[in-house]
């Protein structure tokens, strides 16, 4: 990702405003068949735009020097940024300019710091409980059309129930 000095404050404010209005901050448990656990944690920033007007996404990708663009079948285009360090860095740059997603941003930064620091299998029960709480906070503050996992379900997946 490009250094802060190469992105003007006005551009960071634009990116933050776009994220506030047409973006998502996500911390998710994703099913994964190629791991012993059968799942992995994933942090993602996603900017959405109607595919007919997707040029701002290409500009954002160029400015941030990170992410990938995908065209969905429903006429929407996404700029996605994945990875704990990458998400933490981008959200950190945009944080001062966010208005509506500050709570999710604060929590996803905490989660990414923790998850980037050591492998998932080395996290303590206390740290895994923190991750569960972060997942729930982000879920509760995001708009979604599908059901979410409860704190109890998340703890079961992460092996925190007796």
Q: What is the mean pLDDT of the chain?
A: 89
Asked if the structure places residue 82 within a domain, the reply is yes
The pLDDT value recorded for residue 64 is 96
Residue 94 CB contacts under 8 Å (≥ 6 apart), including other chains: 12, 15, 16, 19, 105
For residue 71, give the CATH number of its domain: 3.10.28.10
Asked if the structure places residue 162 within a domain, the reply is no
The pLDDT value recorded for residue 35 is 67
Query: In b/e form, how buried is each residue of 138-156, taking b as 16+ CB within 10 angstroms?
Result: bbeeeeeeeeebeeeebbe
The pLDDT value recorded for residue 50 is 95
Which residues in the chain land under pLDDT 50?
2-4
* Number of domains, the chain: 1
């Amino acid at each position: 990702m490009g250094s802060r000095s190469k992105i003007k404050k006005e551009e960071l404010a634009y990116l933050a405003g776009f994220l506030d209005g047409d973006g998502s901050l996500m911390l998710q448990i994703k099913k994964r068949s190629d791991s012993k656990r059968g799942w992995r944690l994933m942090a993602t920033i996603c900017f959405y735009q109607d595919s007919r007007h997707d040029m701002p996404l290409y500009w954002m990708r160029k400015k941030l020097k990170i992410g990938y663009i995908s065209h969905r079948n429903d006429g929407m285009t996404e700029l996605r940024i994945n990875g704990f360090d990458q998400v933490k860095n981008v959200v950190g740059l945009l944080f001062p300019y966010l208005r509506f997603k500050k709570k999710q941003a604060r929590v996803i930064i905490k989660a990414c710091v923790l998850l980037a620091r050591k492998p998932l299998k080395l996290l303590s029960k206390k740290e895994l409980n923190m991750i569960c709480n972060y997942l729930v906070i982000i879920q509760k503050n995001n708009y979604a059309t599908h059901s979410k996992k409860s704190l109890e379900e998340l703890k079961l997946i992460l092996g925190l129930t007796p």
